[in-house]
Amino acid sequence: MISFKGFLGIGDLTLVGWLTVILYFSTAISCWITARKIRLASADVENAREQRAWRSIAAAFLALGISTLVDFQAALTETGRVFAKVQGWYEHRRCAQIAFVVVVAVICLIIAIVLVRWARNAPVSTWSALAGSTMLIGYVVIRAASFHDVDRLIYSRSLGFRLNWILETGAIGVVLVASYWRRSKIGKSKPGSLPRS
């Protein structure tokens, strides 16, 4: 019997699972607030681009939070597994997994280039948020591909914590802190301009 555990239900009922979902949504809200404050502080072109970068990060984190809440990734992986078995190429799934990772990596690279162009003159806090977002998306893509060697590594434990918890919550934390850091600099700028440090 094939089961789609987690789809349209709560995927990870552990304390860390709930913490991760809360962190995703909190970070999405924080990044949206940061984008709004940037817009209110100045209307120049560079700040408009930086604002779009923060809004894009907010949208990505909202989507990742919803995906984590309903365990969409597990459902997607299971759907791919079922499709491969039905089509008869499950034994050769490694090629499909690699192709999936390559396609998603190219899409992520294009998105990253767009975000970098939007925030090219942005302060360090914005670059930190972009770096944290890129790390997180890379981690999510690799985990979605479900390579068994990678799964064994990220589900290993260190000091009682699984590596996947540390990677995911750590990257979310970087973006959340960067968002607060960026907002703290906005309030200290003179009217009509934003600091770049």
CA distance 7 to 68: 10
CA distance 130 to 53: 8
Predicted TM-score (pTM) of this structure: 0.75
* Residue 196 covered by a domain: no
Q: Please provide the DSSP assignment of 80-92 as one string.
A: HHHHHHHHT-GGG
51: tokens are: 């604002």
* Residue 126 covered by a domain: yes
Model pLDDT for residues 59-115, shown as the tens digit of each residue: 999 999 998 888 777 777 777 778 778 887 777 777 777 777 788 778 878 877 877
* Residue 119 covered by a domain: yes
Lowest-pLDDT choice from 2-11, 158-167, 183-192: 2-11
* Residue 62 covered by a domain: yes
* Residue 182 covered by a domain: yes
* Residue 193 covered by a domain: no
Beta bridge partner(s), residue 162: 157
* Residue 130 covered by a domain: yes
Q: How many domains does the chain have?
A: 1
Query: Is it the case that residue 23 has pLDDT exceeding 90?
Result: yes
Model pLDDT for residues 30-63, shown as the tens digit of each residue: 999 999 999 888 767 668 888 888 999 999 999 9
Domain that holds residue 28: 15-186
Ramachandran angles phi, psi of 145, nearest 5°? -70, -20
Looking at residue 143, its pLDDT comes to 74
CA distance 79 to 101: 16
